[in-house]
Amino acid sequence: MTRLVFGTGISLSVGSIAVLISVLIGTVLGVLSGYYGGMFDDIVNWFVNMQLAFPFILLAISVIAVLGPSLVNTIIVLTSFEFAKMVIAEAALSFLGLGPGGLDYSSWGLMLAECKNYLAVAWWVATIPGLAIMTAVLSINIVGDWLRDRLDPKLQT
């Protein structure tokens, strides 16, 4: 239970920091692209289209394999995902052994990887971190939908 709670901090902090960096970079590039237009706008548009067309998990695995698995590298790589996707991506990278490493970190994906060999005799040790991931992602999506419904003027009657 302690590892599950500690893993919550790691998984959610990676998502939060990556989203914050994404918002800052996206806002700056969007404002500059809108202000200058022309060639600068075309270049920014080309980079955004390339990023959207490339399978992100392949890019994440490649970059982390080159830079080495660490908490900082995981945040740098995941800056273009939304928050819920980042929680899932961090869990997937940790499951593959490419997330934050060492004894200091305990993420949900790492817990799943460590428990996969015990599924036949103790299914609950992998089920509990899996349910934590599912609950966090579902909660984030529900809150996001609620905020969209509350803040979108087109949906107001």
The pLDDT score that the predictor gives to residue 43 is 92
Same domain, 113 and 132: no
Output the CA torsion 117→15→136→116 (10° steps).
0
Higher pLDDT, 156 or 114: 114
* Same domain flag for 134 and 69: no
23 and 62 together in one domain: yes
For the chain, the straight-line distance linking the first and the last C-alpha, in angstroms and rounded, comes to: 45
**36-51: per-residue pLDDT in tens?**
989 999 998 888 887 7
pTM here is 0.62
Residue 61 host element (H or E): helix 56-67
- If asked whether residues 138 and 73 sit together in one domain, one would say no
In this structure, the answer to whether residues 114 and 138 fall within a common structural domain is no
| pLDDT tens digits, 63-73 | 677 767 766 65
How far is residue 2's CA from residue 52's CA, in Å, rounded to a whole number? 37
- Count of the separate structural domains present in the chain: 2
**pLDDT tens readout for residues 128-156:** 888 988 888 888 777 777 766 776 666 66
Residue 12 pLDDT grade (very low, low, confident, very high; cuts 50, 70, 90): confident
Integer angstrom CA distances of residue 105 from 27, 49, 93, 94, 126: 31, 34, 13, 10, 17
What count of other Cβ atoms lies within 10 Å of the Cβ of residue 136?
20
Contacts of 74 (CB under 8 A, 6+ apart): 14, 64, 90, 93, 98, 99, 100
| Residue 95 and residue 151 in one domain | no
Per-residue pLDDT, averaged over 91-114, amounts to 78
Residues 138 and 69 in one domain: no
Rounded Cα–Cα distance for residues 8 and 3 (Å):
8
pLDDT interval class at 28 (50, 70, 90): very high
Q: Are residues 88 and 148 in the same domain?
A: no
Note whether 40 and 94 are same-domain residues: yes
Domain check: are 70 and 49 in the same one? yes
Is the same domain home to 30 and 67?
A: yes
Which of 101, 58, 156, 48 has its CA nearest to residue 114?
A: 101
Q: Where in the sequence is the domain holding 54, given as residue range(s)? A: 1-121
Predicted confidence (pLDDT) at residue 80 exceeds the cutoff of 50: no
Say whether both 86 and 139 belong to one domain.
no
Mean pLDDT of 70-90: 67
Containing 26, the helix (H) or strand (E) segment is helix 2-36
- Residue 125: per-residue pLDDT: 86
